[in-house]
Amino acid sequence: MVSSSLFSSSSSIRKSRKTRICLDSLPEELLVEISSSIAASSLSEVRSLRLVSKPFRNICDDQYVLCRLSLQETPMFPWNHDHETFSNFFKRCRKNGNPEALFRRGFLHYFLDNREHKGLKYLAKAAEKGNKEAKYVYGLILICLGGQTKQKGFKILSSLVKPLMSTTIEELVELRHKIEKIREFVWDHANPVMERLKTAYVRDKCECDGKTTTFLARNPYGEDKDMNTSSACEFCLWDHEVELFCKRI
């Protein structure tokens, strides 16, 4: 006599096959959209998705999917990975316009590889694609360099916090901490670059009422995250952020 559990198991297998066939029969545009949405949240989920079927495996290599792929689960450096495989993976991501991959290459070029001009180009590309870490670093660098680039730096950073400090600066503080963690890995090598930025930086005299500077002096790291928008001076805020960016020199 055949057990009911065997029937149940066979039924589950048939349902699984039907589900797979149904997914594979969907329009390619829809499969790409599904895959890219998953890619934007988790690299490990994309690896699992590649195992579903051959069509999904091919689609996971689509330009749009690689462009949206989240790299948060991957380390900055390939300590425990095959260097060539790691390097080729990021090269593919950069080639397909992945903002995180562009930011990482720009950051390493600028602060670690003594290729500051090329690093700025990568940071600019990543910032244009909306990567927040790139906007933060690129904007601060432009402010430090001064001249015509300073106003551009202010404009890029302004897009990070809108409306300016209306209720909180939590997101800005979070960005600062993310960059500090990255810099911990490259600090000894990045120090000369940061020294040059600090030397180049000149704080402009602001004509505001000084309330923003007073607020930031009391709460330098954003412990008190609320501030009245009407009293907030954007220039003072970002000048303060530049000072924190260069603080560990």
Res. 221: pLDDT tops 80? no
Per-residue pLDDT, averaged over 114-136, amounts to 94
Q: What is the pLDDT of residue 226?
A: 53
DSSP H helix total and E strand total for the chain: 13, 0
Q: What is the largest CA-CA distance in the chain?
A: 90
Quick one: tokens of 97?
């316009």
CA distance 221 to 173: 7
Count CA atoms closer than 13 A to 231's CA, side-chain side.
12
Q: Is the pLDDT higher at 103 or at 28?
A: 103
pLDDT of residue 138: 96
Could you give the CA distance from residue 103 to residue 121 in angstroms, rounded to a whole number? 10
Token code pair at residue 166: 């209306």
Please give the average per-residue pLDDT across 140-146, as a whole number. Answer: 92
Judge whether 241 and 172 are in contact, CB under 8 Å. Answer: yes
Closest among 86, 88, 76 to 178, alpha carbons compared: 76
pLDDT for the residue 231: 58
125 versus 38: the higher-pLDDT residue is 125
Among 36-45, 96-105, 125-134, which stretch is predicted with the lowest mean pLDDT? 36-45
**Cα–Cα dist 3/83, whole Å:** 52
User: Average pLDDT in the 202-224 region?
Assistant: 68
Say yes or no to pLDDT of 119 above 90: yes
Q: What is the dihedral of CA 170, 172, 178, 181, to 10 degrees?
A: -100
Asked whether 162 and 154 are in contact (CB, 8 A), the reply is no
Structure tokens, 138 = 């690129």
Range among 43-52, 85-94, 128-137 rated most confident: 128-137
- For residues 113 and 247, the model is more confident at 113
5: amino acid identity, one letter: S
Number of residues written out for the chain: 249
State which amino acid sits at residue 116: E
Burial class (CB in 10 A: 0-12, 13-18, 19+), 147: exposed
Question: pTM, whole model, 2 decimals?
Answer: 0.76
Residue 29's region, left for phi above 0, alpha for psi from -120 to 50, else beta, is alpha
Structure tokens given for 182: 């990255």
3-state secondary structure 156-186: HHHCCCCCCCCCCCHHHHHHHHHHHHHHHHH
- Average predicted confidence (pLDDT) for the chain: 77
